[in-house]
Amino acid sequence: MSSATMRVIEANARMYRQTWRGSIVSSFAVPIFTLLAMGGGLGRLVDAGGQTGLGSYLGFVAPALLAATAMMTAVGESTYPVLAGIKWTKSYHAALATPVAPADLANGLVGFLGIRVLFNLLVYAGLMVLMNAMDLIPALTAVLPAALTGLAFATPVMAWAASLDDDRALASFFRFVVMPLFLFSGTFYPVTQLPEWVQPLVWLSPLFHGIELSRGAAGVAGSPALPWWLHLAVLLALFGVGLVLALRSFTKRLWT
């Protein structure tokens, strides 16, 4: 990692130190309330039925919410902030007036975003342990595939956002892509409960692969649904291809 990339990471860290309070609701409060409602509230009804074969419903949902939180955080930081840095605040252009190239800028943003996602997940995992949703070791183990899930979303979304001229497509992206992935990737129920013809479509969701890896790392019975290396390969491929596209998109947008 070059010194210029490290400078970009440092600059973003310094900025976040001043603005982190504004992300408390989206980064921590929303996932916690979701866990309380779905795992604690609905979970009691599910567990009372005793016919799901899931064990504790709270233990089933908790690692999935780690992966889903990573996706939400990564997508949120890879859309509007990227477009703002290029088109509105011009902060990326200011960075290029220093010894920072577009590739350094893109790599630095990805690096900081990875740190940001990992920090959020560690705090969230700690809260899950305090709420008796997960034990400490499974919670920490599940953080790693969840963080990879966030990066797998961050790079391709960042590449796409850097190519936009305005923000009109972003609202539709959250509404018609991000939210359906959150609801229909097996976050709150086993994918096997869906109709058989729908299940292969769910396998196309990157979040599904992240959830399955997180559940497998946490020791949830029946996970991962597919071979673990296949889930891992999908996330790594998405991250790698997305990073290449992000480097090209930043170079084309900022140097042409």
Structure tokens at 146: 């969840």
Task: Assign 20 a pLDDT band (cuts: 50, 70, 90).
Answer: confident
* pLDDT at site 30: 73
Q: Is the dihedral of CA 159, 162, 167, 168 positive or negative?
A: negative
- Is pLDDT larger for residue 254 or for residue 30? 254
pTM of the predicted protein model: 0.91
Q: What is the pLDDT of residues 240-253, one digit of tens each?
A: 999 999 999 999 99
**Count of CB atoms situated within 10 Å of the CB of 248:** 16
Least confident of 34-48, 75-89, 128-142, 164-178: 34-48
* pLDDT at site 189: 86
DSSP state of 225: S
Q: What is the pLDDT of residues 105-135, one digit of tens each?
A: 999 999 999 999 999 899 889 888 888 888 9
Q: What is the pLDDT of residues 33-47, one digit of tens each?
A: 877 777 666 767 776
Q: What is the mean pLDDT of the chain?
A: 89
Cis before 99 (ω within 30): no
SS3 label, residue 240? helix
| pLDDT mean over 35-64 | 71
* pLDDT at site 39: 62
Distances (CA, A) of 234 to 155, 157, 229, 230, 246: 14, 16, 9, 6, 18
* pLDDT at site 2: 76
Spans of all domains in the chain: 3-254
